[in-house]
Amino acid sequence: MRRIRPSRCGAILALLLGALVSTPALSHSDLTVVNWGGAAARAHMLALVRPFEKMTGLTVNMEHYGGELDAVRNQVEAANVKWDVVDFEYSDLIKLCDEGYLEPIDHQTLPAGDDGVPASDDFIDGALRDCAVGSIVWATVYAYDKTAFPDDPPSTIADFFDTKRFPGKRGLRQDPRGALEWALMADGVPADDVYATLAEPAGVDRAFAVLDGIKNEIVWWSGGPQPARLLNEGEVTMSMAWNGRLFRPMTEWGQPIEIVWDGQLWEIELWGIVKGTRHLETALQFVRFATDTKRLADSARYISYGPVRNSSGALVPEEMRPHLPTTPNNMKNALRYDSVWWAEHLEDLKIRFESWLAETGGATEKARF
């Protein structure tokens, strides 16, 4: 065996130690921002993260989040918070805020709109919570394959459930949320009365009766990219989808699909800061930056989600406005998803939904991805 002289050992050890010391710097970040991945991650990177890094000289790490509330709870309870700022769904935000897992945010520190309107008057209703600041307005819509209906395309939420006039499979998220609201709207319940109707046993029965009418035509999906793939591969002729997941397939990839906005279910997502973060001031700085007038408008350049500030609307490029849930023409028969209502009723309705799936055999008929 070849022996290494002590002098060479020292040199090699120095090199190894140098590598070990420098390695953390390569992975160091001043802030970790967590979102849902996909098109939203791309929009956040281009409109928010890179400009924030350029302005501050800080380094931001982005991680993927799939709605795992226990991931946030466990970090806080272990006093080992790794996520600083998280893009939450409204219902998740309410739960974690009420449970004490998020930092309070003083809305008085948010910048005024570019038109001078105070933040408290500039954000749309519901976008400011004790522990959060709104980030986007997104919608659940349905899209159809234009090649399947070239002459008489669907145009209403009722058309989604009409398989005689518009034949073909239907893509639905395997979840009662959204499906039950749509079923009632398709059956003639005005948007303002949907949740009051669902609160009654007869209303729930009515919604499931409408779903019964298409139960043999449903292809169930669970992930955001799946609806566009289902449509592209001819698995379905129409599919429920999150509108931002359809934008690039429609506008950049040339996929022959069209969104129907009638009956859209819209909701707000919000930025929250995890309790006990070691980067609280930086996290607050990022939230203020990410929710100012310009940044919210810039986000709409990269993904078709609406800004939550009124002052941002005029800065959104003209070509993007028809694709936003908040555009007036798209809001004519819209329903705001009621996260508080679902927080109270989800457990019971999920049991009913799972039982219905088992009876219809729908639980085994998922998209093949």
For residues 305-344, one letter each, b for 16 or more C-beta atoms within 10 angstroms of the residue's C-beta and e for the rest, the string is bbbbbbbbbebbeeebbebbbbbeebbeebbbbbbeebee
What CATH architecture is 139-266+329-364?
3-Layer(aba) Sandwich (3.40)
27 has pLDDT over 50? no
Q: How far, in Å, are 101, 199, 270 from residue 351 at the CA level? A: 28, 15, 28
Average pLDDT over residues 312-337: 94
DSSP 8-class letter at 365: -
- Whole-number Å distance between alpha carbons of 354 and 239: 20
Is the distance from CB of 169 to CB of 263 less than 8 angstroms? no
Q: Tell me the pLDDT tens digit for each residue of 130-142.
A: 999 999 999 999 9
- Whole-number Å distance between alpha carbons of 184 and 191: 9
Is the distance from CB of 314 to CB of 242 less than 8 angstroms? no
Residue 68, burial from CB neighbour count under 10 angstroms (0-12, 13-18, 19+): exposed
pLDDT on residue 362: 59
pLDDT on residue 103: 98
Q: Tell me the pLDDT tens digit for each residue of 121-176.
A: 999 999 999 999 999 999 999 999 999 999 999 999 999 999 999 999 999 999 99
Beta bridge partners of 329: none
- Whole-number Å distance between alpha carbons of 46 and 51: 8
Token pair recorded at residue 262: 């009638």
Tokens 């999906």, located at residue = 221
pLDDT on residue 28: 67
Is the distance from CB of 161 to CB of 214 less than 8 angstroms? yes
CA angle (33 as vertex; 29, 34 as ends), nearest 5 = 130
Domain boundaries, the chain: 29-137+268-328, 139-266+329-364
Cα torsion angle, 244, 245, 248, 250, sign? negative
Q: Do domains 29-137+268-328 and 139-266+329-364 have the same CATH topology?
A: yes
pLDDT on residue 24: 35
Q: Tell me the pLDDT tens digit for each residue of 43-63.
A: 999 999 999 999 999 999 999
More reliable by pLDDT, 19 or 286? 286
Percent of the chain whose pLDDT exceeds 90: 81
pLDDT on residue 198: 97
Where would I find the H helices in 213-319? 226-232, 244-251, 280-290, 293-302
Given pLDDT bands bounded at 50, 70 and 90, which one contains residue 367? Answer: very low
pLDDT on residue 37: 84
- Whole-number Å distance between alpha carbons of 100 and 13: 48
Q: Tell me the pLDDT tens digit for each residue of 284-297.
A: 999 999 999 999 99
Percent of the chain whose pLDDT exceeds 70: 90
pLDDT on residue 339: 87
User: Considering the entire predicted model, what is its pTM?
Assistant: 0.83
Average pLDDT over residues 286-312: 96
Half-sphere exposure of 188 (CA within 13 A, CB side): 1
The closest alpha carbon to 34, from 22, 23, 48, belongs to: 48
**To the nearest whole number, what is the mean pLDDT of the chain?**
90
In order, the DSSP letters of 143-166 are EEETTTSSSS---SHHHHT-TTTS
How far the first Cα of the chain sits from its last, in Å, is 54
Domain 29-137+268-328 superfamily per CATH: Periplasmic binding protein-like II (3.40.190.10)
